[in-house]
Structure formats: C-alpha cells, structure tokens
Homo-oligomer: A and B are copies of this chain.
Amino acid sequence: MRGPADNAELALLLEVSGTPKPGNVDREREYPELLFEQFLAGAVGARSGFELAAEGGRVGRAFERAVAGMAEQRAGNTQFGAILAVTPLVAASARDALDRTGVQAVIDATTVADSADFFRAFDHVEVAVREPPAGMEALDVRRGSDCVPAVEERGITLGELLERSAAVDGVAAELSGGFPRTFEGAATLLDGRGSVTERASQLYIDLLASEPDTFVITHHDRETALEVRDRARAVRAGEADPAAFAEELIERRINPGTTADVVAAALFVALERGLEV
C-alpha cells in the first residue's frame, strides 16, 4: 500500500505527465532550460521532505527539506509551489485528518520556526515573486535565510505569512483558505473518466478557466492572465484546440504554474482517497 509520502511523490509525477497542460511542461512539451526529466528528478528529490511530513515533522522543516531535494537537478526550481501545497496535506494525512478542517488545523499550528524554514527554502532556488510591499523589505523572500532574524523578531508564523500573500498568490490562498480548489479538484478527479493523466489535464483546463493564474500575473500581468483564462474557457467549450493553445503558450513562455500546483495538490488528495492508477 502506498503511504502519504509515496502518494505525494506520485502526485508530482502524475501532474507533470498530464498532457496537454497549456503553458507548462508536460509529457509532450518542455522548455529548453526546463525539461520533463528535471521534474522527475525534482519529484524523487522532494520525497525525503514528504517523508518527514508523514512522520509528523514540522511542516516548515519538511517543506524546506523537500525543496532542497527538489533543487538537485539542473533546472533549479521545478515544483516549489506544488511542494508548498502538498506538504501540509501530507501532514494532515499523517494525522488521519485529510480534509479541509484537518489541513486548516495543520496551518493554524505552524509557528515562527516554520516561517524561518520557509525563508530558508528560498536559499535553494530562484523563485519569481513580486517586490515586497513598502515596509516589508525585511521580509523579502528573495533574500532567503537572511530574513530569518526579522521573521523571528516580528514573531510571524507560517500561517500568518501565507495569509498576507493570499491575495496575490494562488498557492498561499489555498493554504490560507482550507484548500477549497484542491478538495474540489480531488472530487473531480475521483468522479472523472479516463486515465489519471487525462483527468489531470482536464482538471488543469477547468481550473485555468475558473480564475486568472497568479503565477502568470506575477510573471506577466493581469491582462495576460485574464486572456489565458478566457482562452481556457474557449478550450473547455470546445471552441479552441487544446494542443494549439499549449503550443502557443509555450512559444510565448506563459506558464500558469499556480494552476499546475493546485492540480498536484488535488492529485495527492485523490490518490489518498483511493484514486487508482
């Protein structure tokens, strides 16, 4: 029987294998500096962090370890957001409480030490984030562990930190809000038809059509994210070809990473609830 760490790793592998997944690396499309195989190595590398979460280790520490392992391939950041989304779900599953209340309790129980670990995780990779708001320069995640003294001085827990980012980061919004899209997505996956990777691709399009992707907003702008959302709606309505849409987004280097992260999280929950591969 696969345990939570196995399913966390498998969720990352299945996520990258869903195709088409417009704009993101999938089985049939990759960027020259971001290869499919690097996502495989990233998932294998993340495992020891997931194991720590499954053993009841601190969420921040497990996350940081998973990111450090993930980063041991040449592309650097492959699955930072997916790991951030999946790690507290693994922790909830280890407590036999993998539901919205259970994972909310995991987030609520995070401490300043988890925040510090969260900042340390940024030492392992370059992650595209926004400029911090005025007065928040001391907590600019791009500075990684250099921010730890400020985090400790201000006494901010990981839960509080994520809440501050929820408005601009879709993964933080999941963690702060009890993972609404994740659990809904898991139900969709369990109810779906076809192979797991087909269901993952379908869920990706559904989620992309439902909200502008915050990663696209950060990397490009809101207008681009809205355009992508509307195009995904057209694909879902059968009015546009998903493969052509995928090619175009790769060409334009628009990758809706937040949406992929939520798919990974939903896959984890669905696997834990009995989705068969």
Interface residues of A (CB under 8 A from B): 1-2, 6, 9-10, 13-14, 17, 27-28, 35-38, 40-41, 44-45, 47, 72-74, 195-197, 276-277
Question: A6–B44 Cα gap in the complex (Å)?
Answer: 6
Contact B196 A37 (CB under 8 A): yes
- Distance in Å from the Cβ of A128 to the closest Cβ of chain B? 22
**Chain B positions within 8 Å of A6 at CB level:** 44-45, 47
Q: In the complex the two chains form, what is the Cα distance from A196 to B30 in whole Å?
A: 14
Could you list 6 further interchain pairs (A-B, Cβ under 8 angstroms) beyond the known A2-B44, A2-B45, A73-B277?
A: A9-B44, A10-B40, A17-B27, A17-B37, A37-B197, A73-B276
Residue pair B40, A277 in contact (C-beta under 8 Å): yes
CB distance from A250 to the nearest CB of B (A): 16
**Given A27-B27, A73-B277, A277-B74, A17 and B40 contact (CB-CB distance below 8 Å):** yes
CA distance A17 to B36 in the complex (A): 8
- 8 Å CB contact of A2 from B9, B28, B38, B72: B72
Distance, CA A140 to CA B38, complexed state (A): 41
Question: Nearest-CB distance from A111 to chain B (Å)?
Answer: 29
Selected contact of A40 from candidates B14, B72, B73, B74, CB within 8 Å: B14
Whether A1 pairs with B44 at a CB distance below 8 angstroms is no
Cα A27 to Cα B36 in complex, Å, equals 10
* Residues of B contacting A10 in the complex (Cβ-Cβ under 8 angstroms): 40-41, 44
Q: CB-CB < 8 A to A36: which residues of B?
A: 17, 27, 197
CB neighbours (8 Å) of A38 from chain B are 277
Residue of B nearest to A74 (CB): B276
Rounded to whole Å, the gap between the CB of A6 and the closest CB of chain B is 5
Chain B residue contacts of A28, Cβ below 8 A: 27-28
Query: Which B residues are in CB contact (< 8 Å) with A197?
Result: 35-37
Q: Which 5 A-B pairs have the closest CB atoms?
A: A41-B277, A13-B40, A27-B27, A73-B277, A10-B44
User: In the complex the two chains form, what is the Cα distance from A38 to B195 in whole Å?
Assistant: 10
B-chain residues with CB within 8 Å of residue A40 when the two chains form the complex: 10, 13-14, 17, 277
A37 CA to B189 CA, complexed, in Å: 15
In the complex, A45→B10 CA distance in Å? 9
Shortest Cβ distance from A45 into B: residue: B2
Kindly list chain B residues whose C-beta atoms are within 8 Å of the C-beta of A73. 276-277
Contacts of A44 in B (CB 8 A): 2, 6, 9-10, 13
